[in-house]
Amino acid sequence: MGRKLKTLNEMKYFDFTLQPGKEQTKRISINSSDPFISIITVYDKEDNEEYIIQTLNSLKNQTFPFWEWIVITNNESIILNEYAKKDKRIKIYTYEYKSISQAKQYGATIASCDLLFILNKNNLLDKTMLECGFFTMTFNKDAVFAYSRTVEFGAKNQLYNTKLSISEEKKKNIIPSDIFVRKDKFLEDYLKLGNDTFEDWYLWLTFLSKEYIPLKMGFYGFWQRNTKEAKKIRITINDKLNNKLTKVMDKINPKTEIIQFDDSYEVDYKNVPEKIDLKRKPIVPDNDVKRILFILPWSVVGGADIFNLNLIKGLKQKNYEISVITTQKCDYALRQGIEQYVEEYFDLTTFLKRKDWASFIEYIIRSRRIKLVFLSNSYYGYYALPWLKCHFKDIPFVDYIHAENWTLRNGGFPKDSNAVANYLDATYTCTAHLRDVMYKTMKRSVKNVKPIYIGTDASFYDPDIPNEKDEELQNMYKGKKVILFPSRIVHYKRPLFAIKVLQNILKTRKDVRLAIAGDGAAFEDVKKYIADNNLEEYVTCFGMQQDVRPFYKVANVTLICSLREGLTLTTYESLSMGVPIVSSDVGGQAELIGEDCGMLIKPYQTPDQQFDFNYSKEEIDEYTKAILYIIDNYKKEDIKDICRNKILEHFTINKMVSNLDKEFTKLIESGSKIDKDVCKNIGLAERYLLVHSVLESKDEKKK
């Protein structure tokens, strides 16, 4: 049930219209030398030209250009012949075959590579699929075949993320037919069943009976087309087939090893990272293009993650080529949003064991001719930094930090940054407050910290832009005063405190409502509190919102009562929408919120008291007084202009992107100014990374 619910949650965010191969990428990829992967596809008839070209584009867009495409056909007029003349990687073979299975086997016999990818016609590949598959099979040499999560698209849209289980595989085939497989093993056992329908299943079962190890990658790398024209044929297993399948099933050891990246794998102290040498030139030309690598934790829906997305979009408009690497497990949320603006996105947790991460990052920097590396909130990234810097002494490494967090590693990411400050050409913070904390409280010795405010997209967060949800909310809150709580629903944001403030207000007036827009770990706790206290009339939980602008339009005040922040995106957005704010005075909130656009209140709790729900009456009274003052004394039209103009004059995303672009351009042109002697101690760098990886992997294994 948990796995199904997880997939359903990902369905809320997944955009099935973003199919691979709709058009060719503009990035220039250099294919220098022989292939590493032989892709085998059978076209048994003249198919829809649009589908064929989309499959071809999804291959030509691959971030890993070292492949050959062996197309087996019994139709000489196949459309791909014209494209094969322009790309030597495409090889068309006319072959009279009796079955699709026979044609695949023939393709394998003429393949020049030891690693095959079986790609059924009209299906598509995520642009990193071949690269991820190649490296997962390279680093996991004991794996015989590998596949990824599956996207079914077309007549039916569905995500398939079933955890691989030998007992389930024996009941029905849960492994797709489009897989990576080692050629010698494929030729050893394929085409023994003599039945196109069950040949793949029989092969997987045969592999398992020999204790060959399967590998399941944890991202949606394979897209399976489902067409309306496809006939629904009821397939039955006759006695003869059933007997063959049963015999091989009986030989399977239920304890056969499986590699899948839903699981965690421990790092050993012997797992020292090594450079990968494919003996190939970089895949991009040596030119003036600004190429930047983002090392991020993940892509979820949070303030820091929205900042990453906005920065990436802005840099893309300035013709950067952007690679993204993430280092922490997460569901698909913002990933597709980021993928639209980058050349490639690699979630290391989905196809590599932690012990191989640093080697892969080093390969990416070298093969992409990366000119600047940007870290943002990646815990792993800080520990990998000294090792990477030892290998790339001339490349600037910089980081961006949003807030201190004294409940996380006694300071959080600012402390991690300070520890490796000698390897960083620059550190950027979202507030001057955080810069001062890093210098004065955390005692950073290297003076290379500079505040650059995040800002918001004022052209998007504009109260004058109509929205289809406006009327619904305006009718819902007609004649009411609305407090908006737009936030991740986690306890350090104190959603229960916000409700208690409302309860206090309701003692004197009943026309006030609390609108909660967001989702998170504390969401069920919040809903239970509302139900237990009969507050359904006064508090509405709207859940996660793709577009929160209609909520700002009905709001009289935005409430931020968090115990820790940097300077929240909610603050920028609310002011841009013309809504004043009552906020806890934490982080850099005071750098934006003044008496002209809201009120600040010192928190009575510390961050480590987030689970203490016995809130101070005095603090609740302070928030109550501030909210009622704004509701009663701020004329909505006047305050709207004051709040919005503050953003337009000083705090837009365009200003933020422009400032960081200037910084990056200057660093790329000058190269790293870090003393190269600092980067000589590779032994220390290896040990620093290794100790972290060993301890982190053991902690993950316990969860």
Give the angle subtended at the CA of 313 by the CAs of 645 and 385, to the nearest 5°.
Answer: 110
* Whether the predicted pLDDT of 299 surpasses 90: no
CA dihedral 539, 544, 550, 551 (to 10 degrees): 30
Give the pLDDT of residue 237.
62
**Whole-number pLDDT of residue 236:** 57
> What pLDDT score was predicted for residue 240?
66
The region of weakest confidence among 54-68, 188-202, 564-578 is: 188-202
The answer to whether residue 1 scores a pLDDT higher than 50 is no
Domain check: are 109 and 232 in the same one? yes
311: amino acid identity, one letter: L
Which residues are paired to 400 by β-bridges? 376, 428
Residues 18 and 159 in one domain: yes
Per-residue model confidence (pLDDT) at position 99: 86
- My answer on whether 242 and 208 are in the same domain is yes
* pLDDT band (50, 70, 90) for residue 6: low
Is the pLDDT confidence value at 453 over 80? yes
Look at residue 232 and tell me whether its pLDDT is greater than 60. no
Instruction: Please tell me whether residues 669 and 647 are part of one structural domain.
Output: no
- Looking at the structure, do residues 494 and 566 belong to the same domain, yes or no? yes
pLDDT band at 238 (very low <50, low <70, confident <90, very high): low
Same domain membership, residue 215 and residue 126: yes
DSSP string, 550-617: HHHHH-SEEEE--S--SS-HHHHHHHHTT--EEEE--TTGGGT--TTTEEEE--SS-GGGTT-----H
85 lies in some domain: yes
CA distance 544 to 489: 9
Residues 80 and 178 in one domain: yes
Whole-number percent of the chain with pLDDT over 90: 80
Task: Let me know: does 598 contact 581? Beta carbons within 8 Å.
Answer: yes
One domain, residues 614 and 482: yes
Q: What is the mean pLDDT of residues 651-664?
A: 96
Residues 311 and 400 in one domain: yes
Amino acid identity of residue 377, one-letter, is: N
Least confident piece of the model among 19-28, 39-48, 181-190, 213-222: 39-48
Q: What is the pLDDT of residues 371-413, one digit of tens each?
A: 999 999 999 999 999 999 999 999 999 999 999 999 889 999 9
Between β-strands 291-296 and 372-376, what pairing exists: parallel, antiparallel or unpaired? parallel
Q: How many CB atoms lie within 10 A of CB 575?
A: 30
Query: What is the Cα–Cα distance from 118 to 125, expressed in whole angstroms?
Result: 11
Q: Is the predicted pLDDT of residue 460 greater than 90, yes or no?
A: yes
The answer to which of 30-34, 159-163, 450-454 has the lowest mean pLDDT is 30-34
pLDDT for 235 beyond 80: no
Domain boundary among 241, 260, 279: 260
At a CB cut-off of 8 Å and minimum separation 6, what does 164 contact? 174, 175, 214, 216, 258, 260
Assigned token pair, 404: 């201190």
Per the domain annotation, does 286 fall within a domain? no
Q: What's residue 331's pLDDT?
A: 81
Specify the pairing of strand 143-154 against strand 213-226: parallel
Q: What whole-number distance in Å separates Cα of residue 572 and Cα of residue 456?
A: 6
Whether 277 maps to a domain, the answer reads no
Structural domain count, the chain? 3
Give per-residue pLDDT as tens, 308-351: 999 999 999 999 999 999 999 888 878 999 999 999 999 999 99
CATH value at residue 97:
3.90.550.10
Percent of the chain with pLDDT over 70: 96
The H or E element spanning position 224 is: strand 213-226
| In a domain? residue 490 | yes
Q: Answer yes or no: is 269 within a domain.
A: no
Tell whether 562 and 682 lie within a shared domain. Answer: no
**Domain presence at residue 371:** yes
Q: Partners of 516 in the beta sheet?
A: 485, 541
Average pLDDT of the chain to the nearest whole number: 92
Classify strands 115-118 and 180-182 as parallel, antiparallel or unpaired: antiparallel
Q: What's the pTM value of the predicted model, to 2 decimals?
A: 0.88
pLDDT digits (tens, 9 = 90+) for 97-139: 888 899 999 999 999 999 999 999 999 999 999 999 999 999 9
Same structural domain for residues 244 and 325? no
Whether 195 shows a pLDDT value over 90: the answer reads: no
Q: How many CB atoms lie within 10 A of CB 311?
A: 23
So what's the pLDDT on residue 29?
83
**Residue that finishes a domain, picked among 237, 260, 283:** 260
Q: Is residue 692 part of a domain?
A: yes
**CATH classification at residue 591:** 3.40.50.2000
Instruction: Give yes or no for residue 8 having a pLDDT over 80.
Output: no
More confident residue, 27 or 697: 697
> Residue 233's pLDDT is what?
46
Res 13: pLDDT: 85
Q: Kindly state the tokens that stand for 427.
A: 């550190």
Asked if 499 and 535 count as a contact pair (C-beta separation under 8 A), the reply is yes
The 10s digit of each residue's pLDDT in 608-651 is 999 999 999 999 999 999 999 999 988 877 899 999 999 999 89
In the predicted model, is pLDDT for residue 28 greater than 90? no
Structural domain range at position 189: 2-260
Residues 511 and 607 occupy one common structural domain: yes
Inside any domain, residue 215: yes
Among 260, 280, 308, which residue terminates a domain? Answer: 260
